[in-house]
Structure 1
Amino acid sequence: MDPHHLRLLRELRDRGSVAAVARALHITPSAVSQQLNTLQRSARVPLTERAGRRLVLTAAGRALAAAAVDVLTALDRADRAVGAHLDDPLSPVTVAAFHSAALTWFPELIRRAPQVRCADEDVARADFPGLAGDYDLVIAHRVAHSPPWPADRVTVLPLIYEPIHVAMPVGSPLADRQRLTAADVAGQPWISVHEGFPVGGVLTAIAAAAGRPLDIVHRVNEFTVTAAMVAAGAGLAIMPALTTVPDPRVVLRPLADLPAGRHIDVLTRPETLHRASVRAVLGALREISRSGGAS
């Protein structure tokens, strides 16, 4: 039953005539009658009857009108509860992020927004949009020139564009150069992320630019582990320039002939942004990411 139709029945009980209901609700008497007829079709017994020229409630109609008060009261209470939830700036907000963003931004985020609930989600690029069904805000990344996020499934809120550089040990002859080319690095052993993960596309671009396949020896998704392996001489790697924990044993160099980078965005479902607490956390994320991380 439509709550609006129940309200009409309740108003007819309280006001005594269709005309009085129409005046109170600023609609025509015929509209009142039509909507009461619609309500009647969903009932098993007559709800109204004629008493002379007036339309009055039957016993069943009076019983339903009394029940309608409870229904309308519950709906109003539910509406107020939803409003309070949407307006509460401290209601919990769940945030997921891939590892390097989590490592760089989560400590400062929980300091600024105590309502946040953090989780790490290092997934393949194609799996990030699906996480928006499990978390309020999903910090996701994709390399430049890759397909955009599916706008029909998630709202995309850009954070930053982050350059991606080649990482090498401090003692490497390549570290003496300020800028490198794809040909300079293509012949080295490499440490890559697992297949399907966003920044792996940069290695594919290096191989294409150099005209030769790369020798990928290790696959590690955690950049702090990768940095330690690079420092130990296990190979070169690609690493983000802004969300990487500095390691004095490792040098980062850009590729002069192959500018590489990734978009770091927040993915969310559109309705989630109606909540004041979510908007507050999003604002904090934007400030933290643009200031470079922890303060």
Structure 2
Amino acid sequence: MELSLHRLRMLRELHRRGTVTAAAAALHYTASAVSQQLAQLERDVGAKLFERLGRRVQLTELGVLLTEHAEEILGAVERATLALEEAQESVTVRLTAGVWASVASGLMPVALTALAVDYPGIHVRTRELAPEDTAGAVRDGTLDFSFVLDYSDAPMAWDTNLERSVIAVERLHAAVPSGAVPAGVVSLLELAEHPWILASRKSHFGRAVRVACQRNGFEPKINHEVEEQSTAMAMVAAGLGITLVSDLGLTLRPDGVDIVALTSPLIRTVSIASRTGALRRPALNLVIQAVRTAAAELGLGTASDEAETTTYPENTDVATN
């Protein structure tokens, strides 16, 4: 019997998530592709591994047994990869990173260009995901690392299976139509009467901004809900309202948008999330250092007391945006 690591990973996700559709979404495959691979796994094993109960899939006793061993096998593969990297004199490895728009456009080009010069054996592939999904994809093994955020006004607990390496500290600024706010600085409360363009409550960014507005004594009048800062600023340029934008998001600013400082700026911390123990990987540490250097070149420093790697209490909500 030969067991495919690829299929074992699919079986593990099926066990974790309960449906083929959810497992496929986590692994970025179609549901039909996952179903076919799981059917092939049953043929490889020569036994029934799962049965359908309505829309959900329940593992048989043999399926549960194989899943338990799959966890051990996949963990051993990761440990073997780490050991090989540590034993190599030169670093040669492929890593997959979870990103969103402002990180992809603001940090990664500078960091990956420098990395290619100093360490050409490190190849980083990026995958843009919904910000709230990136940390979960690291925990599940789909990604090697991802960028995540934490906001001063809405801090979030973290999963014990993840470690965080702080990259930079950003401020949020008001993005308004040209000429709409003549002053060079403005308070959140002074923006209360403007129509807002903001991410939905399901995003950590959307929740954090709403909490900040509430703490300043008002509920923002949201005319448009959009998730990407670039989309929100395009609507600001058209005169449809105002929004908040991060330092990294400023690289996406179109013409017709003024950036106004907040009197009490909202702060958010940009970090890299990786699985506990993964920071022993030399390649990952070199990538983290390259990204920190890129952030510093953009003027985004790290608070000295935040720059250490930290493990956080377990929580199903992992702070991202």
Q: Same fold (TM over 0.5)?
A: yes
Confirm or deny that 1:122 pairs with 2:101. Answer: no
Q: Is the 8 A contact 1:93 1:281 kept in 2?
A: no
Counterpart residue number, 1:48: none
Aligned counterpart for 2:219 among listed residues 210, 213, 216: 213
Pairs aligned (count): 210
SS at match of 2:271: strand
Offset of residue 153 of structure 1? 1.9
Aligned counterpart for 1:96 among listed residues 95, 98, 101: 98
Which one-letter code corresponds to 1:109 in the other structure? A
Q: Deviations for 1:16-67, whole angstroms, at most 9, x for unmatched residues?
A: xxxxxxxxxxxxxxxxxxxxxxxxxxxxxxxxxxxxxxxxxxxxxxxxxxxx
Counterpart residue number, 1:83: 83
CA distance in 2: counterparts of 1:85 and 1:290, whole angstroms? 28
Confirm or deny that 1:139 pairs with 2:141. Answer: no
Specify whether residues 119 and 82 from structure 1 end up closer, same or farther in structure 2 by C-alpha distance, changes over 3 A only.
closer
Counterpart residue number, 1:162: 170
CA distance in 2: counterparts of 1:82 and 1:160, whole angstroms? 27
Confirm or deny that 1:192 pairs with 2:198. Answer: yes
Q: Deviations for 1:181-208, whole angstroms, at most 9, x for unmatched residues?
A: 2221111111001222122234313432
CA distance in 2: counterparts of 1:177 and 1:281, whole angstroms? 40
Counterpart residue number, 1:282: 288
Which one-letter code corresponds to 2:149 in the other structure? H
Q: Which runs of 5+ in 1 are unaligned?
A: 1-78
Which one-letter code corresponds to 1:83 in the other structure? A
Which one-letter code corresponds to 2:95 in the other structure? V
Which one-letter code corresponds to 2:221 in the other structure? D
Q: Deviations for 1:225-270, whole angstroms, at most 9, x for unmatched residues?
A: 21111010010001112342243421111222x4212111110012
TM-score (norm 1): 0.65
Specify whether residues 149 and 113 from structure 1 end up closer, same or farther in structure 2 by C-alpha distance, changes over 3 A only.
farther
CA distance in 2: counterparts of 1:81 and 1:260, whole angstroms? 40
Offset of residue 102 of structure 1? 1.4
SS at match of 2:93: coil
TM-score (norm 2): 0.60
CA distance in 1: counterparts of 2:224 and 2:206, whole angstroms? 12
Specify whether residues 157 and 82 from structure 1 end up closer, same or farther in structure 2 by C-alpha distance, changes over 3 A only.
closer
Q: Which runs of 5+ in 2 are unaligned?
A: 1-78, 117-122, 300-321
Aligned counterpart for 2:233 among listed residues 227, 230, 248: 227
SS at match of 1:101: helix
Aligned counterpart for 1:250 among listed residues 257, 265, 284: 257
CA distance in 2: counterparts of 1:179 and 1:81, whole angstroms? 51
Offset of residue 217 of structure 1? 1.0
Offset of residue 289 of structure 1? 1.4
Specify whether residues 232 and 145 from structure 1 end up closer, same or farther in structure 2 by C-alpha distance, changes over 3 A only.
closer
CA distance in 1: counterparts of 2:96 and 2:129, whole angstroms? 12
CA distance in 2: counterparts of 1:80 and 1:99, whole angstroms? 33
Counterpart residue number, 2:278: 272
Q: Is the 8 A contact 2:98 2:134 kept in 1?
A: no
Aligned counterpart for 1:180 among listed residues 186, 192, 197: 186
Specify whether residues 212 and 271 from structure 1 end up closer, same or farther in structure 2 by C-alpha distance, changes over 3 A only.
closer
